[in-house]
Structure 1
Amino acid sequence: MTGSVPNALTALRLLVVPIAVVLLVVDDGADGPARWWALVLVAFAAATDWLDGYLARRWEVVSGFGKLADPIADKALVLGVLACLVVVDGIPWWPLAILVVREVGVTIGRLAVASQVVIPASRGGKIKTTLQLTSLLMFLLPGAPAWWDAIAWWVLVAAAVVAVVTGIDYARTIRAANRAHRDGTADADA
């Protein structure tokens, strides 16, 4: 039973994404109750991101599914909510574009080598996700003053920079995994 809890939390995070997106679209920048509920759901999803990994490591039930699905759930949450904020709040689009390219590239690369090796989230990837979620939670706060949004913006810019750096690192890791599989050598994680 305990082995399925981290995976269930990951799946729950995936279910929260469309609900939060719909709430943001319904709110349409009005900073009303739907925005507050979206904030609560995103905060809950961010907490499950930390909790599922913690429980999987603590209970020693880290799974291939969790290593693959957890980053996908994070990407869906961040990109879905950020896309809504770009449309509804007018946040500049270019950090979203950088994150989409990076996330799609990393996900396709991970899936391409998934039969050979599961590439877990790196420390840099976790920092990027933390910066992204922090920025989103800050942007979602209804009625925040301009200086708060300015801080949220710079946290988002930092997340975009970390995304580029870690994207390059993942590309190297994925290439090494492909090469190791093709050459029949040791695992790329070694």
Structure 2
Amino acid sequence: MRWTLPNILTVMRLIAAPGVAIMFLYFHRPWADWFALTLFIVAAITDWFDGYIARRWQQESKFGAMLDPIADKAMVVIALVIITGYSGMNPWLILPVTLILFREVFVSGLREFLGAKAGLLKVTNLAKWKTTAQMVAIAVLFLGTGLEHL
């Protein structure tokens, strides 16, 4: 594995995912919400940049293709757990969070089941839009919890 800029960005995003939760260990609310939101947004932006740079500079790699969806799922799962926990288990959040987590687990299981053939599943524009919408929605939820505690 070569340490290309896209791979470094992906690894940094993977490290940032638990950092979102760690913000709530070291800071009181609403500061924790704002720091978590900032870290989440920066990490989400790197998701776009690492793919763009990898394609543009022809630095796509098996390592990046494997690690990118893991970093995305880690960000989404950790952020949703934090938001749900700090929302007091709001029933209006539990259903969409459950559906999102179910989809993430299902897709991961499907890729595992397909094994070597999973590489044939290309990322579609619809999947990219889904990820963008998901990241924006999670950022809005963080923003809402931050504003709620001002």
TM-score (norm 2): 0.83
Residues 95-153 of structure 1, C-alpha deviations (whole Å, 9 max, x = no match): 11111111111112213334234134322221111111111111222216xxxxxxxxx
Q: May I ask how many residue pairs the two structures share in their alignment?
A: 143
| Structure 1 residue ranges, 4+ long, deviating more than 6 angstroms after superposition | none
Q: Is the 8 A contact 2:37 2:142 kept in 1?
A: yes
Residues 30-56 of structure 1, C-alpha deviations (whole Å, 9 max, x = no match): 32x222111111011011100000000
Q: Is the 8 A contact 2:24 2:32 kept in 1?
A: yes
Unmatched tracts of structure 2, length 5 or more: none
- Give the aligned partner of residue 19 of structure 1: 19
Q: Is the 8 A contact 2:5 2:50 kept in 1?
A: yes
Shift of 1:65: 2.1
Partner of 2:60, secondary structure, is coil
- Give the aligned partner of residue 87 of structure 1: 85
Cα RMSD of the aligned pairs, angstroms, is: 2.4
Name the larger-Rg structure.
Answer: 1
Amino acid in structure 2 at the alignment position of 1:37: F
Unmatched tracts of structure 1, length 5 or more: 145-190
- Give the aligned partner of residue 128 of structure 1: 130
Query: How do residues 134-173 of structure 1 correspond to structure 2 at under 5 angstroms?
Result: 134-141=136-143, 142-143=146-147
Amino acid in structure 1 at the alignment position of 2:17: V
TM-score (norm 1): 0.67
- Give the aligned partner of residue 43 of structure 1: 41
- Give the aligned partner of residue 100 of structure 2: 99
Q: Is the 8 A contact 1:67 1:120 kept in 2?
A: no
Equivalent-residue separation in structure 1 for 2:55 and 2:3 (angstroms): 10
- Give the aligned partner of residue 64 of structure 1: 62
- Give the aligned partner of residue 173 of structure 1: none
Partner of 1:93, secondary structure, is helix
- Give the aligned partner of residue 8 of structure 2: 8
